[in-house]
């Protein structure tokens, strides 16, 4: 497929928080040799590889927000918002950018995106491909209920305009079957795969990352817990290592970097802080782990945190390690859960919430010991991309079980599944028993995750499945 001209990637959302569409843009530019116009909202910086590629041109729309209106009026303002978005999209798609050979549009959201792209493709004499990540009507149904008239109308519009596409991609075989059987849409499965910048982190990369995040991880303002007490090791206290070269997890002596034996286990969970991820399940599991790990230590409720700090300084080893959960992401329910976390007062578990750059996030995954995924899917037919990224970094996963998750997570090979907080707590206790040297079950899952992550990468998956479809629809439009 030689240089054919242009493609337009359409995202009615924050492009920096749409990794799959960023990867589409990179592949269109690098592998299909197209000039790529991205029409999306700004907000979060995309990966540096996107910003540095001179064939990718970002066109940032201004988000339409309903702030300032009473909540009771938000429902009545939704049609106005959709109409405003529709005309804004038409302006960019029909006038602002050069006419492309193909539009590639993320779904959801479906309304007004599919309607606008359908009209723009007719006006510009272009083709368009829908990349089905999920179904918009099922997401709307989380707040309104599936039987609501607005949800039914949304479903009809999503179906009607989805059928008008010249081609379709989707994320799972289960979704492919649903589209074929109940929507009359033939879709090609393009599995999410990690790009090349998701990989296991070296000791040098881990140490550099932990140095950058030292204060955020070890001693955030106003937080006193088992991790903030332990931000300096016993060796540092006794003058055997400079604090500047020591982090929670690593220490540097001359030019050599070591992982600390008394480090906490690092668990990462990325979330959009929305209703399709029940974060309370993770908090409840953390409380259960904390109680059971403390019981093994014969600690009672009156123990002082300073005693734990003394044990850490003296290098005392425990059967179950301290756990540090780092929760990354932005979303509407973040503050609510941060308040809940502050009230837990755990002895062996600590939480940190943060937003990382597109360059540091893969390094954090590559440096962690376990990933946790709380994604359940409004449709039950999509797969969490965060798990794909974790496998790309060789990070094993504990994931919430739902209908098609086993297309991705192979139980006892690269991860484990759970359906309740107690199951997750049991898995944490099993995986981290004897950490860091004697946690054989965790090491076995890490080997499986490394194997899974090395099997396929985004570029090869895209070239095998997406490129032929895009080539076909572009060629068909020129006949």
408 within some domain: yes
276 within some domain: yes
Structure tokens at 8: 């337009």
1 within some domain: no
> Whole-angstrom Cα distance, residue 75 to residue 412?
45
Neighbours of 169 (CB within 10 A): 25
Q: Running DSSP on this structure, what letter comes out for residue 201?
A: P
b/e string for 173-208 if b means 16 or more Cβ within 10 A? ebbbebbeeebebebebbbbbbbebbbbbeeebbbb
> Whole-angstrom Cα distance, residue 107 to residue 214?
38
H helix runs in 60-103, sequence order: 71-91
In angstroms, the Cα distances linking 132 to 17, 145, 158, 469 are 16, 21, 11, 14
* Segments forming the whole domain that contains residue 130: 6-193+458-477
- 186/277 same-domain check: no
Residue keyed to tokens 């309370």: 280
- 227/333 same-domain check: yes
Q: Which of 327, 341, 332 is nearest to 372 (CA)?
A: 327
Residues 6+ apart with CB under 8 A from 187: 132, 168, 169, 170, 175, 176, 179, 180
Residues 6+ apart with CB under 8 A from 59: 37, 38, 39, 40, 92, 96, 97
- 164/237 same-domain check: no
CATH of the domain at 84: 3.40.50.2000
> Whole-angstrom Cα distance, residue 168 to residue 130?
5
Q: Running DSSP on this structure, what letter comes out for residue 182?
A: I
- 362/395 same-domain check: yes
216 within some domain: yes
198 within some domain: no
Residue keyed to tokens 């197209």: 34
> Whole-angstrom Cα distance, residue 176 to residue 170?
6
Number of domains in the chain: 2
Q: What is the pTM of this model?
A: 0.81
> Whole-angstrom Cα distance, residue 166 to residue 313?
64
Half-sphere exposure at residue 421, Cβ-oriented, CA atoms within 13 angstroms: 13
- 236/175 same-domain check: no
Residue keyed to tokens 């990349």: 131
DSSP characters over 341-369: HHTT--SSEEEEEE---TTHHHHHHHH-S
CB 438 within 8 A of CB 378: no
Instruction: Give the per-residue pLDDT at 477.
Output: 63
Instruction: Give the per-residue pLDDT at 259.
Output: 92
Find the largest Cα–Cα distance for the chain: 79
Q: What is the SS3 assignment for 30-54?
A: HCCCCEEEEEEECCCCCCHHHHHCC
> Whole-angstrom Cα distance, residue 359 to residue 365?
11
- 230/369 same-domain check: yes
- 249/355 same-domain check: yes
Structure tokens at 289: 């782990």
Instruction: Give the per-residue pLDDT at 309.
Output: 38
**For the chain, give me the number of helices (H) and strands (E)?**
19, 15
CB 354 within 8 A of CB 365: no
Q: Which of 105, 101, 75 is nearest to 89 (CA)?
A: 105
Instruction: Give the per-residue pLDDT at 429.
Output: 95
- 135/261 same-domain check: no
Q: Which of 125, 119, 131 is nearest to 100 (CA)?
A: 125
252 within some domain: yes
CB 219 within 8 A of CB 228: yes
- What is the residue-level pLDDT of the chain in tens, covering all 479 positions? 444 589 999 999 999 989 999 999 999 999 999 999 999 998 888 998 999 999 999 999 988 765 655 655 656 667 788 899 999 999 999 999 999 999 999 999 999 999 999 999 999 999 999 999 999 999 888 888 889 998 999 999 999 999 999 999 999 999 999 999 999 999 999 999 888 889 999 999 999 999 999 888 876 666 777 887 544 444 444 444 455 588 889 998 888 899 998 899 999 998 877 766 788 899 999 999 999 988 876 544 433 443 343 344 444 456 889 999 999 987 777 888 888 888 888 889 999 988 888 889 999 999 999 999 998 878 878 888 899 999 999 999 999 998 889 889 999 999 999 999 999 999 999 999 989 888 899 999 999 999 998 888 899 999 999 999 999 998 876 55
Structure tokens at 60: 């940032």
b/e string for 96-107 if b means 16 or more Cβ within 10 A? ebeebbbbbbbb
- 37/184 same-domain check: yes
Instruction: Give the per-residue pLDDT at 232.
Output: 43
- 451/462 same-domain check: no
CA angle 252, 268, 351 (to 5 degrees): 85
- 208/178 same-domain check: no
Instruction: Give the per-residue pLDDT at 325.
Output: 95
CB 108 within 8 A of CB 136: yes
> Whole-angstrom Cα distance, residue 116 to residue 415?
41
163 within some domain: yes
CB 355 within 8 A of CB 328: yes
DSSP 3-state helix, strand, coil percentages of the chain (rounded to 5)? 45, 15, 40
243 within some domain: yes
- 399/438 same-domain check: yes
């Amino acid at each position: 497929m030689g240089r054919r001209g242009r493609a337009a990637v359409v995202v009615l959302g924050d492009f920096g928080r749409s990794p799959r569409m960023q990867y589409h843009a990179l592949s269109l530019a690098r592998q299909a040799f197209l000039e790529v116009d991205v029409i999306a909202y700004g907000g979060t910086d995309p990966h540096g590889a996107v910003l540095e590629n001179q064939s990718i041109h970002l066109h940032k729309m201004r988000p339409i927000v309903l702030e300032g209106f009473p909540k009771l009026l938000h429902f009545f303002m939704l049609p106005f918002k959709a109409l405003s978005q529709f005309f804004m999209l038409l302006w960019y798609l029909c006038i602002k950018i050069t006419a492309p050979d193909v539009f590639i549009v993320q779904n959801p959201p479906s309304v007004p995106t599919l309607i606008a792209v359908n009209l723009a493709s007719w006006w510009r004499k272009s083709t368009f491909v829908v990349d089905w990540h999920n179904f918009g009507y099922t997401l709307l149904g989380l707040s309104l209920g599936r039987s609501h008239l607005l949800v039914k109308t949304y479903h009809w519009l999503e179906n009607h305009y989805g059928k008008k596409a010249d081609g379709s991609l989707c994320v799972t075989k289960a979704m492919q079957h649903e589209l074929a059987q109940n929507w009359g849409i033939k879709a090609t499965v393009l599995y999410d795969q990690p790009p090349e910048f998701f990989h296991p982190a070296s000791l040098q990369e881990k140490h550099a990352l932990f140095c950058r995040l030292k204060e955020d991880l070890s001693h955030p303002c106003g937080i006193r817990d088992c991790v903030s007490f332990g931000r300096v090791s016993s060796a540092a206290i006794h003058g055997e290592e400079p604090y500047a070269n020591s982090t929670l997890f690593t220490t540097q002596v001359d030019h050599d970097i070591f992982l600390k034996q008394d480090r906490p286990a690092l668990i990462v969970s990325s979330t959009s802080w929305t209703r399709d991820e029940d974060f309370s399940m993770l908090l409840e599991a953390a409380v259960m782990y904390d109680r059971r790990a403390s019981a093994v230590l014969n600690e009672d409720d009156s123990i002082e945190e300073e005693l734990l700090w003394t044990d850490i300084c003296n290098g005392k080893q425990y059967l179950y390690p301290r756990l540090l959960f780092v929760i990354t992401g932005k979303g509407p329910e973040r503050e609510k859960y941060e308040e809940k976390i502050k009230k837990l007062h755990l002895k062996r578990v600590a939480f940190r919430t943060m937003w990382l750059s597109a360059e540091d996030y893969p390094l954090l995954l590559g440096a962690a010991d376990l990933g946790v995924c709380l994604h359940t899917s409004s449709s039950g037919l999509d797969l969490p991309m965060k798990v794909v990224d974790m496998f790309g970094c060789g990070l094993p996963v504990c994931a919430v079980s739902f209908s098609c998750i086993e297309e991705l997570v192979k139980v006892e090979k690269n991860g484990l599944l759970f359906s309740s907080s107690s199951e997750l707590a049991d898995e944490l206790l099993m995986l981290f028993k004897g950490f860091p040297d004697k946690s054989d079950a965790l090491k076995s899952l890490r080997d499986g995750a490394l194997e899974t992550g090395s099997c396929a990468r985004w570029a090869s998956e895209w070239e095998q499945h997406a490129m032929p479809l895009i080539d076909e629809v572009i060629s068909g439009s020129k006949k």
